[in-house]
Structure 1
Amino acid sequence: MKLVKLLANLGYGSRKQVTAMFREGLVTDLAGEVLYTDDKVGHDQILVEGEPLDPPQGLVVLLNKPLGVTCSRKDVGRLVYDLLPPRFALRNPVLSTVGRLDRETSGLLLFTDDGPLLHRIISPKSRLSKVYEATLASDLRGDEGELFAAGTLMLDGETDPLAPAVLEVLSPRKARVSVTEGRYHQVRRMFAAVGNHVESLERVSLGGLTLDGLPAGQWRALGADDLARIFNKENA
């Protein structure tokens, strides 16, 4: 792929803008030598304004989503894409969220431009565990774990029972819940079904992948080992 098209696909600008970057000497190799549009050089040998070139197609980004941020490109208010470099929104193929977290749910959120990987993660067939920590308005009754694990719990307005889920009590008003489905507002509705209300909710893991101390509002690109952790827990 020609360098101009490569940088344009990575969101550094239109082809015209990227061509101007080459003319201005902003694209160099690792030794600082100016590159030209017809040079043949490996992806990992390219610097833009002294910084390594963004990862190629197949990028997966982990974000610790803060509260009050919406998983959307065009909604009003703060958007998850505002927390990433602006050029990420211009990548081709597009960088999409892997599933969604509602505005008032924080925690682990993935983005990728790898369509097959996205669909593998969100597919019900993958049965990937998604673990949430919920702070509740009222004390737990004591029978929630048994009800969640039974595979018979019905959500309001639905006709199919939920798949079995695992509840771990952390304190009288805090619990960790592991689910393998992705129904709309599922964890909030599960607690509503047993007469409680979720005051705050954070996703802390997906498969075997965790936030590993990543601060709220921060992101990092994932490597091959990280991606393997998503599925390794399920295959252990």
Structure 2
Amino acid sequence: MSRHDRSSGRKTNKDTGSRSDRSSGGKQSGRQGGGIRKKSQARGNAPIKPKMEQSPLTNTEGIRLNKYIANSGVCSRRDADMYIAAGNVTVNGKSVTEMGYRVKLEDDVRFDGRRLNPEKPEYILINKPAGFFVTGNPEKGGRTVMELVARATKAKVSPVGKLDNQAKGLLLFTNDGTLAKKLAKPKNGIRQIYHVALNKNLTKEDLENIQKGVYLEGSKVIITNVSFIDDKPHNEVGIELYSIKEHIVTRIFKSLGYEVESLDRVVFGGLTKKDLPRGRFRNLTQQEVINLGMH
């Protein structure tokens, strides 16, 4: 082969190969690229993911479980994920181990059996006026203590114990379910003092009978102390007891033939009405909360 031919051959091969590579590669790339783009566009540019079976507890509302746990003060979100995976957490009685699971504020979330509260604990003491319902509004136009509480907090708080519509005095509200449940247990009880006005004078004999303890429905109610109030008529007495049963004071006096005309709770636990006018509220101090927890 001549020099010219060899040179021409090399040139031809080089040019042909280059054009062939570019032509072939370009067309192939175009076909593949175009095909992928069409598929992606048909699926909204979303990558294809395998379908995963969802837990029957899965929901799309509320807040993430790890955040709920962290807000309750148990641990950080990262640690919460570990506890969730380990099976330490239940939601509404069922163990939840999936990451990203969401819960609502009303769900029963427990860590090692202890119910959690994702809100900051609040403790509000109200000096309830007469004429306010505590747990309901049976009369049209009636007012409830929630009107007073609404000015104190936006948290979902509930009363610890009850007071009748016409009763006055101290009423504690909190979103601390653990403390509320503890204070509401009959076996624990909590110190309460009432200023009671009766429809007639209390006899000395009945005063002594109350001091000894009164039987209601076959069960003896222990009264810590009962006495006449200084400089007041004998239809006004003070009574101290630990029972948290409903209408307990009214029932004690009714069993002896007296009607309660006015009832004012002046002491609840170690809490008093000092510097708390009727219809007003205040937040408990940290020490007061600790003292209540020791009951």
TM-score bracket relative to the smaller structure = 0.5 to 0.7
Distance 2:187 2:169 in 1: 23
- RMSD across aligned positions (CA): 2.6
> Could you tell me the percent identity over the aligned residues?
31
1:57 paired to 2:120:
yes
TM-score (norm 1): 0.67
Q: Structure 2 matches for 1:1-236, cutoff 5 A?
A: 57-72=120-135, 75-76=138-139, 77-85=142-150, 88=153, 91=155, 94-151=156-213, 153-155=214-216, 158-170=217-229, 171=232, 172-230=234-292
Distance 1:213 1:86 in 2: 18
User: Which digits, 9 at most, give the CA deviation of each residue in 1:195-228, with x for residues without a partner?
Assistant: 2211100000112111213111111111212224
Distance 1:208 1:231 in 2: 11
Distance 2:290 2:272 in 1: 12
Distance 2:210 2:129 in 1: 27
Deviation at 1:120, TM superposition (A): 1.6
Consecutive unaligned residues of structure 2, counting only runs of 5 or more, are: 1-62, 72-118
Mapped contact 2:223–2:239 kept (Cα < 8 A): no
Partner of 1:38: none
Deviation at 1:73, TM superposition (A): 5.4
Mapped contact 1:208–1:231 kept (Cα < 8 A): no
Distance 1:210 1:142 in 2: 28
User: Which digits, 9 at most, give the CA deviation of each residue in 1:84-109, with x for residues without a partner?
Assistant: 23684x53xx3110011010100000
Distance 2:134 2:120 in 1: 21
Consecutive unaligned residues of structure 1, counting only runs of 5 or more, are: 10-55
Letter of the 1:57 counterpart: K
Distance 1:160 1:126 in 2: 16
Task: From the superposition, tell whether residues 221 and 136 of structure 1 become closer, same or farther in structure 2 (CA, over 3 Å).
Answer: same
Deviation at 1:74, TM superposition (A): 5.3
TM-score (norm 2): 0.54
